[in-house]
């Protein structure tokens, strides 16, 4: 970080600082310029051009200021001005970088949903289930005291040994956006401490496994209500009727009441010819079409949920796959993904400082998502 | 009519012993199966022409009659028309799907473009079963719009039929339908008397609508279905004298003299549509005259409008498929 009081800053420091804003982002920008022509159209949707331009302007202003500072012959009166300008430029540059990062990264498709959190003890026997109980307490107090989110216990199995140990805990956090907050908590949590059950004062290492799933709203239909899955735009529906042979009109009196409806985006077809009334066939075809579309949408969503569950279940609860360590002896909690540490474990376990940890993890996730953009 | 292939008859018999009876009129196994189902479901003991005695033979008797060309609608006694059920009997024309399409399209137009609290005045010339007034009233009253609709026909049987249909569909119409709709005897070709009679019953007429007999003599002999030619009233299909266009000048003149904002009439096809269009354009009364296609893409309805009613120009969508297997 550039010190706000510095009157001089070396060229290299400035550049290093600037680069460290986001290496992933810079690489992305480079790639963008290479693939500019073919990607231009896609970028127009997701990438905020105004912001990018502004960032570009600021970067060049930054360079100029930096050169001014490097110039020893600079007017002494101008120097403080340049320094203060530089400070503000630098801070707006970093917020802009974050904003661009956010606009580059697609929001998670389930970010708006509420969450279903599952906690199970991993390696470490009864100590592991005690720690699972601690994690459950951490999340419940966090939801209740910090977020003020309603929490519903889906299933809670106490461990066979009794005490505060937990064999399995599943709870729903019923707040929109809870999944986005909680999804970084999924993984193996490792604890290093002297367990309450330990008689000889040895330090144990145990784990608990946390699974976070998006919770899809359960639809219960009241009378006259429509399944939201079945809502379709009538502009997308093509309605065809069977027609009589020949001249039609008064020339023919054959009953041709069949109706066929096609939902163009999905290609789903409903053809009804059951009634002599085209009016009734129409209503029935619409009903059939809607329920077929709802069925398809539901199946797709379930497949997505299943895939998600499988990808989460891959995480095994071994000690070495940990993503976070709770070290009671050193009064420290460290997230191994983003390398962030907090040094007040009791307040963390009360949920008071969990937010700052979650923020760091989300930053790391976003950074990683930008990296992933490169390889796509 | 081409002879039925023996394989077709055999295939039909293997499906159901009564199916071959229907083939002469239905032509395909699919259509025959549908009609057999409808006959079995909606036909009844003592249905017209089954001897009135009931018993086990009634379905066979119905199938035999249908195979000889009896219209399904006369055998079952009804024809669905929009949300309504129109009662059909010999001597009155069976409502057609093309009529159903342009009538409900017109109803949608009225609801979209006229003030919801206005009282629309409509005159239906050659009303037959009364299906057009009843469907329009159903559509408008469902949306809360009131209307005054007159139906005129020269045939006593048609008038009886239209009045019965009003009673039959009362539940689908608004409470004061008896004051809103009136059917009365009149000769459309005698315009003076007609105008006088209508003028006594209704103040302002906004729309004159008609599905008159429009089939010329040659056309009647050549291209009508057997079932139509032999069982439906010729009076409702082909004007006396053989000229299929004879009603349209009268309809146009009646609309003009009633001060109607628009005139809407069903026609046989493109050729007649163009002749009627020319005729009405020639009178100089209408600001514009245009042709609506039906669902099969055939020029089916000619519409003329006065200034301010240009919205009536847009016709219904062409949406149709031809084959069961398509």
pLDDT at B47 over 80: no
Are A274 and B93 within 8 A, CB to CB? no
Q: From its phi and psi, is residue B25 left (phi > 0), alpha (psi between -120 and 50) or beta?
A: alpha
B94 chain-A contacts, CB cut-off 8 A: 253
Give the range of the structural domain holding residue A273, as residue numbers without chain letter. 228-306
B79 chain-A contacts, CB cut-off 8 A: 276
Task: Give the total number of structural domains in chain A.
Answer: 3
Question: Looking at residue A287, what is its pLDDT?
Answer: 85
For the stretch A213-222, pLDDT in tens is 877 665 555 5
Structure token pair of residue B58: 């009634």
pLDDT confidence tier of residue A40, bands split at 50, 70 and 90 = very low
Q: Residue A357 and residue A348: Cα distance in Å, rounded? A: 9
Question: Looking at residue A363, what is its pLDDT?
Answer: 86
Task: Give the total number of structural domains in chain B.
Answer: 2
Question: Looking at residue B220, what is its pLDDT?
Answer: 94
Structure token pair of residue A343: 């040094």
Question: Looking at residue B35, what is its pLDDT?
Answer: 93
A241, closest residue in chain B (CA to CA) = B320
Query: What percent of chain B lies above the pLDDT cut of 70?
Result: 94
B231, closest residue in chain A (CA to CA) = A253
Question: Looking at residue A57, what is its pLDDT?
Answer: 66
This prediction has a pTM of: 0.66
In 3D space, the residue among B175, B173, B178, B180 whose CA is nearest the CA of residue B202 turns out to be B180
Look at residues A248, A279, A306 and tell me which one is the last residue of a structural domain. Answer: A306
Are B60 and B97 part of one and the same domain?
Answer: no
Are B38 and B119 part of one and the same domain?
Answer: no
Q: Tell me whether B230 touches chain A (CB under 8 Å).
A: no
Are A356 and A236 part of one and the same domain?
Answer: no
Q: pLDDT: is A281 or A21 the higher one?
A: A281
Are B110 and B52 part of one and the same domain?
Answer: no
For the stretch B129-160, pLDDT in tens is 999 999 999 999 999 999 999 999 999 999 99
Give the mean pLDDT of A93-113.
74
In 3D space, the residue among B232, B179, B326, B160 whose CA is nearest the CA of residue A256 turns out to be B326
Structure token pair of residue A17: 């600082």
CATH assignment at residue B163: 3.40.50.150
For the stretch B243-276, pLDDT in tens is 999 999 999 999 999 999 999 999 999 999 999 9
Q: pLDDT: is B320 or A258 the higher one?
A: A258
Question: Looking at residue A2, what is its pLDDT?
Answer: 46
Are B178 and B41 part of one and the same domain?
Answer: no
Q: Which of A239, A241, A247 sits opposite B269 (nearest CB)?
A: A247
Are B152 and B125 within 8 A, CB to CB? yes
Instruction: Mark which residues 80-119 of B lie under 8 Å from A by CB.
Output: 80, 82-83, 85, 93-94, 96-98, 100
pLDDT at A3 over 70: no
Are A100 and A24 part of one and the same domain?
Answer: yes
Are B40 and B152 part of one and the same domain?
Answer: no
Look at residues B48, B76, B104 and tell me which one is the last residue of a structural domain. Answer: B76
pLDDT confidence tier of residue A42, bands split at 50, 70 and 90 = very low
pLDDT at B324 over 80: no
CATH assignment at residue A274: 3.30.160.20
Chain-chain contact of B321 with A244 (C-beta, under 8 angstroms): no
- Name the burial class of residue A41, with classes exposed (0-12), middle (13-18) and buried (19+) by CB atoms within 10 angstroms of its CB: exposed
Cβ neighbours of B52 (radius 10 Å): 10
Give the mean pLDDT of A276-284.
91
Question: Looking at residue A311, what is its pLDDT?
Answer: 67
Instruction: Mark which residues 114-173 of B lie under 8 Å from A by CB.
Output: none
Are A195 and A143 part of one and the same domain?
Answer: yes
pLDDT at B53 over 60: no
B276 chain-A contacts, CB cut-off 8 A: none
Give the mean pLDDT of B220-237.
94
pLDDT at A280 over 70: yes
* ipTM of the complex, rounded to two decimals: 0.91
For the stretch A151-190, pLDDT in tens is 888 888 887 776 778 888 888 888 888 888 888 888 899 9
Look at residues A72, A104, A136 and tell me which one is the last residue of a structural domain. Answer: A104
Chain-chain contact of A253 with B298 (C-beta, under 8 angstroms): no
B224, closest residue in chain A (CA to CA) = A251
For the stretch A287-334, pLDDT in tens is 888 888 888 888 888 788 777 766 665 554 456 678 899 999 999 999
DSSP B21: H
Are A204 and A343 part of one and the same domain?
Answer: yes
Count of pairs with CB atoms under 8 A, one residue in A, one in B: 107
Are A121 and A214 part of one and the same domain?
Answer: yes
Q: pLDDT: is A60 or B52 the higher one?
A: A60
pLDDT confidence tier of residue A39, bands split at 50, 70 and 90 = very low
Residue B294 lies in a domain: yes
Q: Tell me whether B268 touches chain A (CB under 8 Å).
A: yes
Q: How does the average pLDDT of chain B come out, rounded?
A: 91
Q: Residue A85 and residue A88: Cα distance in Å, rounded? A: 5
Chain-chain contact of B96 with A249 (C-beta, under 8 angstroms): yes
pLDDT at A50 over 70: no
Determine which of B295, B297, B301, B323 to mutate to test the interface with A (most A C-beta atoms within 10 Å): B295
Are A54 and A143 part of one and the same domain?
Answer: no
Residue A64 lies in a domain: yes
Are A80 and A208 part of one and the same domain?
Answer: no
Question: Looking at residue B238, what is its pLDDT?
Answer: 95
Give the range of the structural domain holding residue B67, as residue numbers without chain letter. 6-76
């Amino acid at each position: 970080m550039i010190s706000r009081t510095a009157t001089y800053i070396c060229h290299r420091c400035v550049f290093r600082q600037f680069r460290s804003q986001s290496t992933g982002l810079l690489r992305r920008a480079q790639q963008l310029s290479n693939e500019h022509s073919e990607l231009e159209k896609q970028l127009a949707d997701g990438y905020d051009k105004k912001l990018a331009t502004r960032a570009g302007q600021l970067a060049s202003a930054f360079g100029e200021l930096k050169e001014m500072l490097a110039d020893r012959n600079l007017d002494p009166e101008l120097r403080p001005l340049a320094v203060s300008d530089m400070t503000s430029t630098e801070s707006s540059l970093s917020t802009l970088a974050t904003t661009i990062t956010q606009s580059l990264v697609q929001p998670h498709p389930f970010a708006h949903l509420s969450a279903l959190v599952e906690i199970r003890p991993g390696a470490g026997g009864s100590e592991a289930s005690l720690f699972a109980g601690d994690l459950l307490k951490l999340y419940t107090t966090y939801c209740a005291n910090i977020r003020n989110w309603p929490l519903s216990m889906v299933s809670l199995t106490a461990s066979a040994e009794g005490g505060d140990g937990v064999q399995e805990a599943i709870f729903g956090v019923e707040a929109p956006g809870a999944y986005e907050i909680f999804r970084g908590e999924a993984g193996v949590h490792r604890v290093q401490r002297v367990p309450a059950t330990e008689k000889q004062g040895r330090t144990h290492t145990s784990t608990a496994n946390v699974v976070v799933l998006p919770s899809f709203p359960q639809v219960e239909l009241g009378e006259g209500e429509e399944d939201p899955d079945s809502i379709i735009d009538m502009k997308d529906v093509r309605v065809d009727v069977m027609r009589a042979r020949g001249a039609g009109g008064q020339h023919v009196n054959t009953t041709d009441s069949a109706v066929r409806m096609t939902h163009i985006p999905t290609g789903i077809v409903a053809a009804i010819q059951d009634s002599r009334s085209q009016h009734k066939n129409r209503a029935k075809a619409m009903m059939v079409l809607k329920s077929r579309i709802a069925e398809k949408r539901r199946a797709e969503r379930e497949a997505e949920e299943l895939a998600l569950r499988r990808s989460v279940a891959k995480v095994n609860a071994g000690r070495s796959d940990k993503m976070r360590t709770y070290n009671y002896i050193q009064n420290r909690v460290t997230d191994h993904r983003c390398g962030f540490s907090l040094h007040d474990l009791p307040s963390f376990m009360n949920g008071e400082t969990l937010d700052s940890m979650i923020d760091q993890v989300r930053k790391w996730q976003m950074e990683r998502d930008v990296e992933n953009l490169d390889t796509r | 009519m081409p002879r039925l292939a023996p394989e077709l008859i055999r295939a039909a018999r293997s499906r159901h012993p009564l199916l071959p009876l229907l083939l002469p009129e239905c032509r395909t196994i699919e259509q025959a199966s549908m009609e057999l189902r409808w006959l079995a479901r909606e036909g009844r003991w003592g249905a017209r022409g089954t001897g009135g005695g009931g018993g086990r033979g009634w379905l066979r008797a119905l199938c035999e009659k249908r195979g000889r060309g009896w219209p399904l609608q006369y055998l079952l006694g009804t024809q669905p028309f929009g949300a309504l059920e129109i009662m059909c009997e010999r001597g009155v024309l069976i409502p057609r799907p093309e009529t159903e399409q342009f009538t409900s399209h017109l109803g949608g137009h009225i609801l979209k473009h006229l003030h919801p609290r206005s009282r629309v005045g409509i005159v239906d010339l050659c009303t037959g079963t009364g299906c057009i007034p009843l469907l329009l009233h159903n559509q408008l009253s469902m949306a809360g719009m009131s209307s005054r609709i007159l139906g005129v026909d020269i045939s006593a049987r048609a008038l009886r039929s239209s009045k019965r249909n009003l009673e039959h569909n009362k539940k689908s119409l608004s409470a004061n339908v008896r004051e809103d709709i009136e059917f009365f005897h009149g000769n459309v070709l005698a315009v003076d008397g007609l105008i006088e009679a209508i003028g006594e019953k209704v103040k302002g007429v906004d729309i004159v609508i008609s599905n008159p007999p429009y089939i010329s003599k040659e056309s009647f002999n050549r291209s009508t279905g057997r079932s139509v030619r032999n069982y439906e009233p010729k009076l409702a299909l082909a004007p006396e004298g053989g000229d299929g266009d004879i009603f349209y000048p009268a309809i146009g003149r009646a609309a003009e003299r009633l001060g109607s904002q628009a005139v809407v009439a069903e026609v046989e096809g493109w050729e007649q549509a163009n002749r009627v269009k020319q005729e009405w354009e020639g009178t100089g009364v209408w600001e514009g005259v245009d042709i609506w296609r039906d669902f099969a893409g055939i020029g089916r309805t000619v519409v003329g409008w006065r200034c301010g009613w240009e919205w009536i120009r847009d016709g219904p969508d062409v949406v149709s498929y031809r084959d069961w297997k398509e």
